[in-house]
Amino acid sequence: MPQTSVPVDSFTEPYTRLGDDVSLEEVREKVRALEDEHRANGVPLSGRILHVCHYLPITLTLTKPSKSGGIGVISPPATPPSKHSEVPAEHPQQTAAPTQDKPQEPFSVPEQPSQSPAVAPSSLWTLSPRYGHAAMISGIRSLSATHEQLIIGWTGDILSSTPGENIPEEKISEEDRKDLGESLKGYQPKETGSADPDDEKEDKKTTYVPVWMPGKVAHEHYDGYCKQILWPLFHYLLWQDVATEYASADSHYPFYEAANAAFAKTICEVYRPGDLIWIHDYHLLLVPKMVREQIPEVILGLFVHTPFPSSEVFRCLPRRKEILDGMLGANLVCFQTYSYSRHFISTCIRVCGYEASSRGIDVEGHVTSVLHCPVGVDAERVARDLTRPGIKPKFDALRTLYEGKKIIVGRDKLDVVKGVLQKLRAFEKLLQDYPEWIGNVVMIQVTSPALSDSPKLERQVSELVAHINGEYGSLDFIPCHHYHQTLKKDEFYALLSVADLAVITPLRDGMNTTSMEFVIAQEKTKKSPSVLSEFMGISKHMEDALQVNPWNLGDVAAAMNRGLLMSESEKESRHANLHKVVTTHTSHSWAAVLVKMLLSQVGGVNTARRTPYILKELLQKKYMDAKKRLFLFDYDGTLAPIVKIPSMAVPSEETLLALKQLCEDPKNIVYIISGRDGEFLEQHLGHLKNMGFSAEHGGFVREPGHEEWMNFTEALDMSWMTEVHEIFRYYTERTTGSQIEVKKSSITWHYRSADPEWGLFQCRQCQDLLENNLANKRPIEVLVGKKNLEVRPIAVNKGEIVKRILYHNPDAEFIFCAGDDKTDEDMFRALNLFPSGVTKTTMEAPLSVTLIEPESKNAPPVDLAISPDAVFTTAVGHSSKRTLASWHVTTPQEVVEHMLEMVEVATQPGTPHSNL
């Protein structure tokens, strides 16, 4: 049975793929080998990678009034760091002085001098690091060792030299923007407070490209649609669940669209052929399609750092199709885990009705691969940060303060999805169920301000902490300590190092860096265990942690008790395994694997040649020059759009007019070659007497000007239909919404109205049964179509009918053949008459002639008058659709328009070869 990249019937969850669990240097070697292979095959590669992020990793300050005379306005509160590891380093004067005692091994590296913010030579702009998304930025920066890079992102609020003020984007003059571009060219990021060897390793050039947006667009995009709609949805909450007042899911969408368009415009301005592009995260889900519309041949990946919900949650989004179509503009969509990629594929199938195959999601011929690749932390940087001398005094102070007690540590954003309330209730459950811990364990819970404030949640946490301390505390013992603040880096790492147990139990999360940083922090201290939520994207990554369902308070409490009582040998064993994973699957290896995966898309089946749009002038010239012309049309999807109810696919007035005018020209021979039965074709098109018809994929033919149908199946053994019908009936009974269509020469099982994933699974099972048990014994072929499975005689197909028509009209000098489906590829294959360099050819009598016409059994070959450039095989659909056709148009309406234009040109008075 054919396998998809994410089987719909499998719930196994491999964390990484074979070949990705190797060292960073091995991954980079594979990248180099792929690049060499592509260049040897003539594939252009620029050596550049474009990373598109919501923000530039730089805070911009205009150090003097803008030349436009703009006046600063009060800035909204600064966004706090959005990852636990991304805490700003301490300001030099706040850093504790090094202790006089000889420091312990974990804290033995001397403190490095702080780096001052970079100031451009003109002193117009001050550039300093923006703290946030450290794992992603670290991974991106690591690629500078092998590739030239462009990091494209929004400027963020432009700060004024006056504290607390910012300058609106509209007030920044063009001259100042150019100055910023010059300043960014020489910018080298430096980690404040520590010397980072990576800063010295960067071999290739890194360029920072700002995206300019009006302030209202930027903030309605981020604070509105991203944070109020998409963020909750991707974490299994609907917008009304987190809103403090009435929330409309659509009110911010125009700003989301406008912001994405601004990013796409900037990308197109800096793009060079051969660039690789990675779009990062849910802020920019429309960008892939927008860029592809402008640069059809682009090689583009989308990495979604958040979870992706099940289809039943995602389908609540009013703009669900726009979002999914935007994402599917990429060559590759990548998630943190297999589960998220499976949810995405299921959503595309169920919500949009798209088809999934082993190659990915098929949207009108453009195929998007779907993979997963976990992000890690920059393990080397975390290990260096743990040697900061400011950590040691804080570590000792915490150990002294809670001497004789076990320390449980938790650090989360104060966000409803982080599960802080549930964690505190689980701690209370620990004290209830295991009262021996009262007076012997403390919990230190730090909550940093969330991206969207929640006074209600803050109040609930404070009340619960007060309740626990009132119930289980005493004058000399406080069991639960809650600090609502942004920790300094030294405090953060001291807290992780001193802990006896970490409890990190979000209700839903993508990558949680704290759990990995905790493992590295414990390497030279206690090797303490951690309790992790099974609903985090990294849960499969951290299998040696104690994993729990955060909603099950009893299980969380039991896991806390087990972790606190764990033997030293078990601690060391679990820690060793976790440390190996955390230091192997780092942010650097993640970034290298992303490049490898995207390079694997280059030149493959998902980036097949793009079929050119049909040249109208060439088409009309060849039409005018020909003395005899053949027109061969499929019906559904070619002359009429695909509809859910087949009987509703009626031809439009324009289609009937175009066909009528073509048929009236004696030089033209026009055929409809369809999978429909003859009754349908006669009902809607039978009044066109000069038109020929082929019904049921070539099973029946009615010649132009004739009333009788020729049955091509009469000479064939059709007894197999009873057996196939019995098999189809078996699957119909077990697949709600499916049905059987019996024609005179074929039989089809439709599952368009069935559950899409169950229908697809049943289709594959049925196909496997037919191919392995029947097709090898009978003269039949099994065809997989759009939501259907068809069985037909092996000698009856559209290609045979095209050969028959051409054999009987060898003097034709122009052929226009249009179709949209897999069965239409038989027509295109039949018209692939000329090997490379050949301009004249002969044609043997096809089966459709020798079988049906006994007197033609020994019919001789015929010489064809057609030339290669007068055969217009035309696929209807996206230019990237895999097809044997030489040309493409996008819609059925365009087929009709081309027919009408050809007729119009030919019938103009005075036109050469005009029939008037």
Ordered DSSP codes for 121-157:
TTSSEEEEEPPS-HHHHHHHHHGGGTSEEEEEEE--S
Predicted confidence at residue 63, as pLDDT, reads: 80
What's the confidence (pLDDT) of residue 5? 41
Q: Which two tokens stand for residue 616?
A: 């109208």
Give the DSSP letter string of 57-108. Answer: SEEEEE-S--TT----EEPPPPPPPSSTT-PPPPPGGGSPPPPSSPPPGGG-
**Could you give the domains of the chain?**
48-60+124-191+200-372 (3.40.50.2000), 379-584 (3.40.50.2000), 616-711+796-907 (3.40.50.1000), 719-793 (3.90.1070.10)
Q: Which two tokens stand for residue 192?
A: 């404040």
Instruction: Give the integer Cα–Cα distance in Å for 339 and 342.
Output: 5
694 in Cβ contact with 673 (< 8 Å): yes
Beta carbons within 8 Å of 324's beta carbon, 6+ residues apart: 347, 348, 351, 352
Map tokens 């049964």 to a residue: 769
Q: Are strands 700-702 and 691-695 parallel, antiparallel or unpaired?
A: antiparallel
Q: In angstroms, how far is the first alpha carbon of the chain from the final one?
A: 58
Catalytic site residues? Answer: 634
User: Can you give the pTM of this predicted structure?
Assistant: 0.76
The torsion region of residue 757 among left (phi > 0), alpha (psi -120 to 50) and beta comes to alpha
The pLDDT assigned to 62 comes to: 87
Q: At what angle do helices 587-601 and 24-40 cross, to 10 degrees?
A: 20
pLDDT of residue 263: 97
Q: What is the pLDDT of residue 297?
A: 86
Measured between alpha carbons, how far is 74 from 162 in angstroms, rounded to an integer? Answer: 10
- What are the per-10-residue average pLDDT scores of the chain (916 residues)? 38 45 82 89 90 92 60 40 39 35 38 47 77 85 91 92 83 88 81 49 77 93 91 86 66 94 96 95 96 92 94 92 95 92 92 84 86 91 91 92 93 90 96 95 90 77 94 92 89 94 92 90 93 88 92 96 95 94 91 93 60 89 93 92 78 91 93 90 90 89 90 81 93 92 88 88 92 87 86 85 92 94 88 86 84 73 92 87 87 90 73 45
Among 7, 6, 59, 23, CA closest to 588: 23
